[in-house]
Amino acid sequence: MTDTIMHTADRVITATYKRFPVVMERGQACTLWDTRGRRYTDFVSGIAVCNLGHAHPRIAEVVARQAGQLVHVSNLYYTIPQTELARMLVEHSFADRVFFGNSGAEANEAAIKLARKYFKDAGQPERFGIVCMEKSFHGRTMATLSATGQDKIKQGFDPVLEGFSFVPFNDIDALKSAIDDHTCAVMLEPIQGEGGIRCPDPGFLQRVRQLCDQRGLLMILDEIQTGMGRTGTRFAHEQYDVTPDIMTLAKALANGLPIGAMLATERVAAAFGIGAHASTFGGTPLVTAAALETLKIMDEERIVDRARDTGTYFKDALKQLKLRHRCIAEVRGRGLLLGIQLNRPADRLVPVLMDKGFLVNCVQGDTLRFVPPLIIQKDEIDALIHCLDEVLTF
């Protein structure tokens, strides 16, 4: 069966993904099983998506119940799960308003559109430029890849949309120089995930906030990978004492169901009036019910605190590993968004670790990224560390 599934997929699905030769069949907590019965401890979690692990019984129950009650009616009507989720997000964040989409790219598209619309409504249509960071990642749609600071993402899609410029992450002087009379916003990730698990230097995000205030710009924080407790606080920006004007969420918001959200202050969100933006499947009763249950579980089980404590344990173990292996150049990250940069290509280690029963992935060619479910146990971390200790001798 495994070979048949792989051959069929390769024949009928567009070849945009380089897949590993396995067919995943089921999961439970932090473990996945393939169709050959192989077991894997998951340190990818759908790329920082399944924060509560696989097949969480409460989420499965809510999805089944909601699917039997109401799946979709469109945003022409009010629904209870969507309203309750929006209320909960507002009450647990800086924001006053929420727009729902289906993905991180949609959330970032909404943020880009809102920033431009805000200045159009303010009588400043010439202010449409957004300064972004080099090595950033904001999505694969035309606007979000235009905002992404990685050339490889843009290859073959020229011309990209105008209005986006790029400066090095952590370089406040370069940011100051990039801002001009056409700039409306600065858009960045609090911690760059796809960019190699790069954290901001002390004070950098605060200086970005100050600069935005001084120049009358909006600050857009892409928390699609860093939000929902991943870094040890509900949202990563809370650790850096800054408040954005716009924030985007997705990935872990519904623990695997497709959802994106753009959050904004009332002052900024007012630019999105009736008809300004829309999404047919944005915030359906099904997916918002799952997201609402995800938030409830995170609060009741203190998942964010667990992620912070377990992340500290994991990072300390990686630092000890670095002392034993000169091939590790740096250990980076916060909470359970962690990475080790090697002084040589790291991608060759991914299939090696997979063969030994551990799922990890590689970013920027030289960095192994670890984003396990936030419920990962210390003994599972210990097992990965032991395996890394063996394979890092290459």
Q: Can 113 be counted among the known catalytic residues?
A: no
- Chain-centroid distance of CA 385 in Å reads 24
Looking at 43, 99, 100, 137, which residue is catalytic?
137
Looking at 99, 251, 315, 370, which residue is catalytic?
251
Phi-psi region of 46 (alpha: psi -120 to 50; beta: other; left: phi over 0): left
How far, in Å, CA of 72 to CA of 249, rounded?
A: 21
Angle between helices 285-300 and 303-324 (to 10 degrees): 70
3-state secondary structure of 58: helix
Beta strand 164-167 with 129-133: parallel, antiparallel or unpaired?
Answer: parallel
How far, in Å, CA of 313 to CA of 384, rounded?
A: 13
Q: Can 121 be counted among the known catalytic residues?
A: no
H/E/C letters for each residue in 87-128? HHHHHCCCCCEEEEECCHHHHHHHHHHHHHHHHHHCCCCCCC
Q: Can 222 be counted among the known catalytic residues?
A: yes
Tokens of 115: 């920033």
Evaluate whether 175 touches 167 at the Cβ level (below 8 Å).
yes
Looking at 222, 314, 366, 370, which residue is catalytic?
222
- Chain-centroid distance of CA 47 in Å reads 8
Cα dist from 68 to 199, 256, 263, whole Å: 44, 19, 30
Which positions are annotated as active-site residues? 137, 222, 251
